[in-house]
Structures are given as C-alpha cells and as structure tokens.
A = this chain, B = another copy of it.
Amino acid sequence: MAQPAAMPVGAASVAVRQASLREHNLALVLRHIATAARPPSRADLATITGLTRATVSALVDDLITGRLLSEVVRTPRSGAGRPALGLTLAGHGPVGLGLEINVDYLAAVLVDLPGAVRHRAVRRIDLRPVPPAEALALVAELITEAGTEADRQDLVLAGTALAVPGLVSATGVVRLAPNLGWRDVDVPALLGGHPMLSGRGLSVDNEANLAALGELHAGPPDSANFIYISGEVGIGAGIVLHGTLFRGARGWSGELGHVPVHPDGRPCRCGGLGCLEQYAGQEAILAGAGLTDGPTPLARLIEAAGRDEPTARRALVEAATALGVAIAGVINLLDVDTVVLGGVYAPLAGWLGPPVEAEIRRRVLTAAWSPVTVRPALLGGDGAAVGAAGSVVRTVLEQPARWLARPLR
C-alpha cells in the first residue's frame, strides 16, 4: 500500500508504473526548486523529497545537462570548506514564445524558465480591415524575429502560445472574434508551418484567459479567486476560482464584453443591444473623451485625465460605472474577492477604480462584510502575451522529462 514518499499520487494516476517514476521525480525536484525561497542544495532536496541523495544527484545532473537548472554558489567561501551549491531554474535554457493578436496591435514576447521577459515586440496596427491570413503573416514575421533573438541569446524555443480576442475551439480554430471580424479561422493550419514552430507545439487560447493565467502566476500567492478583465477594443474576462482558470462548460466563458448593461441600449457588433463593450470598451471611452482622431489616443487620454480635463474624466467615470454594473453582476454570481483591471484598464486603473468600487458597494449583496479588491494588473498591457509565454514555460516545468527527451535540433 505504501507509496514512494517522493511520488504524489493523484486521482488520474492510480496505476502509476515504475517507468514513470523518474518523470514524477524530475518534476517534483524541479517544482521544489521553482518554489523554494532560497536555492536548495542537493542535500536539501533529498531531505525535502525523501529520495536518496544519489537519486537526487542523478536527477539534478540530468536537469542541469538539459539546461533546466543552474548551480549557483550559495554561501561565500569561508575557510577551507567547499562552497555550498544551490540550484535555481536556468535562464539559459528553454523559453516560451507568447504571441498576441488584438484589434489594434500585435505582440510577441519570450519568457524564460525563471519568468524573465527576454524579448518583447509590439506592433501597433488596426487589424480590422486586414484579412486573417494577412494578419497571421504579420504574426509570422514576429515569430521569425523572436526566433532569431532566441538564437542570438542562445535560448531554446520550447513552444508557442497565441492569444486572440475571441472564442477558440479545442483545436485552436478561432470560432468568432467579433471585433476582428474573424469567424472560423484555422490558426494552426495557417501558422503551424512556420519553420520555427514545427514540431514545437502551437496552442491558441483566448487572450483574457492567458492574461489571467499570467496574473495568477505573477500575483501574490493568495490571489486564488479573481476576475481578470481585459479592456481593449473588446472586453474579455478570465475567471480564476480556487487557483484554477475557469473555462466554462464548453471553454467559452468570460465574455464579459457582451454582458448587457443597458438592455435597450446601443447596438453591438455581436447583434445584441447594450453590451458592456459599447459603454466601457476602449473606443467608447475614447469617443466619450473626444479622442477618436489622431495618434496615440490612449496616451493623450491618460495625459488629459492626469490634468483633470473634464471631458476625459467624465468619459472615464461613465465607462467605469458601466464596468462596475457588470462587475457587480459577476460578483453577485461568482463571489470572487478580487477584480484585476488589465489591458488598457491597467494604466487607467487610478481613475476607473473608484467608480467601479462604488458600484460594487452599491450593488453587491455581500459587499458590506466581504470586501472586494479592485487593482490594476501586474503584467501591464502585454499581459496576454506574457501569460501565453508563461503557459509554455509552465508546461516544461510540469513535464521536464518530455523536454529532456526532445529530439535535439
């Protein structure tokens, strides 16, 4: 009946075979190192995991050879003893490529195993008039650039995740992205042939979901229940409950932008009336502030709000009030304790926060004794791309054996 101490057995692994023991233990060692407060030594790891020191050393050697771990001198040399070597995640090994297609920009980032952003590129472009194949050709350019940059830094591309502002099927087909005008766009078919992607895996997901995942891993350890709101031209939400992304019954949860806030109000691109997007989306805010023409409207909005320009401030209050109405509905339904303002909402959080909080106080039944925190996203404007890259990196951390067994290129 006894289990080897180092191998946690989950419901999905009732019949764990001996052959997979090494896989489990590699991941276990890596997990301890990733979450340790200071770089543990091999001896520390043996104590923590209950594995023998010889086993730990063999696993650690494999992980170092595979460029997943680095050894660092942990304590300064004092007297004649050897310095203790601590183990940390390697910054010179695999990186995840995170891509984002949004309505008015494209983004690409490389994130390494310790979580540092090693490369970042953003292209401002209005993609609404651009056909999907052409938009994906622009994405392919970003991939080439990122791949070249990874080579230059001697990093290894572990995989790619693409964030899109729409509904994505399990096979990566964008079923609907209303603000892009996309419908049934088979992204893996159009992009998967890129030489830097082939064989490395390409996943496609909703941008708010990926940003929420990024926020979950970047955020404080107690941020287990929150709604991440991605304010762009469209408005999406990633819902994290008990530390897990909630995808809904069919994977299409979080369409906050189409929650009705004024049932008989403005028509929406989706065919509905009075959707939140029409009151709190980026374009509604800019139109309200009289900033639809000219370059860098968002920067000008922030500047105008900063100097208390009445039209800009009023536009932000109006948007935030609509946002607060929708958020109050979400909290009444889902009982989350934190609202994370992401996308363009992040730099506007100082102005959007108070009216949102006022609506929550006014409309959430439990608000009096169960306070709700409203805060800007930690990852900023390219949170979806960073979250996408992070999702690739976490796959490597969770399945190191797979990484070690990859065909070398």
CA distance A258 to B362 in the complex (A): 11
Interface string of A9-34 (1 = CB under 8 A from B): 11100111110000000000000000
Q: Which residues of B contact A336 (CB under 8 A)?
A: 248-249
- From A265-273, A280-288, A389-397, give the one contacting chain B: A265-273
The distance in angstroms between the C-alpha atoms of A329 and B16, with both chains bound, is 43
Q: Please report the total number of A residues contacting B with Cβ < 8 Å.
A: 64
Contact of A225 among B249, B258, B263 (CB under 8 A): B249
Which residues of A (241-299) have their CB < 8 Å from a CB of B? 241-242, 246-256, 258-263, 270-273, 275
Given the complex, which residues of B lie within 8 Å of A188, measured CB to CB? none
Tell me whether A233 is interfacial, beta carbon within 8 Å. no
> Does A176 belong to the interface (CB within 8 Å)?
yes
A80 at the interface (CB under 8 A from B): no
Of A144-152, A305-313, A363-371, the one with at least 4 CB within 8 A of chain B: A363-371
Near B by CB (< 8 A), chain A positions 305-324 give 321-322
**A175 CB-CB contact with B under 8 Å:** yes
Q: Give 27 CB contacts A-B under 8 Å.
A: A3-B14, A9-B11, A9-B14, A10-B10, A10-B11, A167-B366, A176-B366, A249-B337, A250-B335, A251-B335, A252-B335, A252-B365, A252-B366, A253-B333, A255-B333, A258-B363, A258-B365, A260-B261, A260-B325, A260-B328, A260-B363, A262-B262, A270-B363, A270-B365, A273-B362, A326-B329, A334-B334
CB of A224 closer than 8 Å to a CB of B = yes
Q: Is the CB of B333 within 8 A of A167?
A: no
* Measured CA separation A322–B362 after assembly (Å): 20
Chain B residue with Cβ nearest A264? B262
Which residues of chain B are near A8, meaning CB under 8 Å?
A: 11, 14
The CA-CA distance from A374 to B239 in the complex, in Å, is 24
Our pick among B252, B325, B370 for the contact of A250 (Cβ within 8 Å) is B370
Query: Is the Cβ of B11 less than 8 Å from the Cβ of A370?
Result: no
Contacts known (A335-B252, A337-B250); A362 close to B271, Cβ less than 8 A: yes
Cβ-defined contact, A261 with B258, below 8 A: no
Asked whether A254 lies within 8 Å of B333 as measured between CB atoms, the reply is: yes
Chain A interface, >50% SS class: loop
- Taking the nearest CB of chain B, how far is it from the CB of A243, in angstroms? 10
Minimal beta-carbon separation of A319 from chain B (angstroms): 13
Q: A319-356 vs B: 1/0 string, CB under 8 Å?
A: 00110011011101111110000000000000000000
Min CB distance, A36 to chain B, in Å? 22
Q: Is A178 an interface residue (CB 8 A)?
A: yes
CB of B334 within 8 A of CB of A248, answer yes
| A256 to B314 alpha-carbon distance, docked (Å) | 30
Nearest CB in chain B: distance from A330 CB, A: 6
A213 interface contact, C-beta 8 A: no
Return the 10 tightest CB-CB contacts between A and B, nearest first.
A248-B335, A225-B249, A255-B332, A259-B329, A272-B363, A253-B335, A252-B335, A10-B11, A263-B325, A258-B332
- Which of A237, A253, A273, A275 has the most chain B CB within a 10 Å cutoff? A253
Q: For A326, what are the chain B residues with a Cβ–Cβ distance below 8 Å?
A: 329
**Closest-CB distance, A7 to chain B (whole angstroms):** 9
- Residues on B with C-beta less than 8 A from A251 are 335
CB contacts (< 8 Å) of A337 on chain B: these are 249-250
* Closest residue of B by beta carbon distance from A240: B249
Residues of chain B with a CB closer than 8 A to A252's CB = 335, 365-366, 370
Residue A1 is within 8 A (CB to CB) of chain B in the complex:
yes
- Which B residue's beta carbon lies closest to that of A262? B263
